[in-house]
Amino acid sequence: MSDIRSWKLNFDSLSPDRKPNLDPPGSDSNITKDPVLYLTGSKKKDVNMASRKQQMLFAQATSPLKQVGMMCFMAYMFIGNSVQIFSIMMVLGLVASPITSIVNSGKVFVKDPAFPQLDVITPRLIYCLVFAGQFLFGLYKLNAMGLLPAHPSDWISTVPTPPSLEYSYGAL
What digits encode the pLDDT tens for the residues 119-151?
Answer: 999 999 999 999 999 999 999 999 998 888 888
pTM over 0.85: no
* Domain assignment of residue 58, yes or no: no
* Domain assignment of residue 95, yes or no: yes
* Domain assignment of residue 30, yes or no: no
Query: Which DSSP category does 157 fall into?
Result: G
Q: What is the pLDDT along the chain (172 residues), one digit of tens a residue?
A: 566 666 776 667 666 555 556 767 777 766 666 656 655 655 455 668 888 999 999 999 999 999 999 999 998 888 878 888 888 999 999 999 999 999 999 999 999 888 888 899 999 999 999 999 999 999 999 999 888 888 888 888 888 888 888 888 887 7
Q: Tally the domains of the chain.
A: 1
3-state SS assignment for residue 81: coil
* Domain assignment of residue 90, yes or no: yes
Q: How far apart are the first and last CA of the chain?
A: 136
* Distances from the Cα of 133 to the Cα of 62, 99, 126, 130, 136, angstroms: 13, 11, 11, 5, 5
**Domain carrying residue 71:** 64-147
* Domain assignment of residue 13, yes or no: no
The amino acid at residue 118 is: L
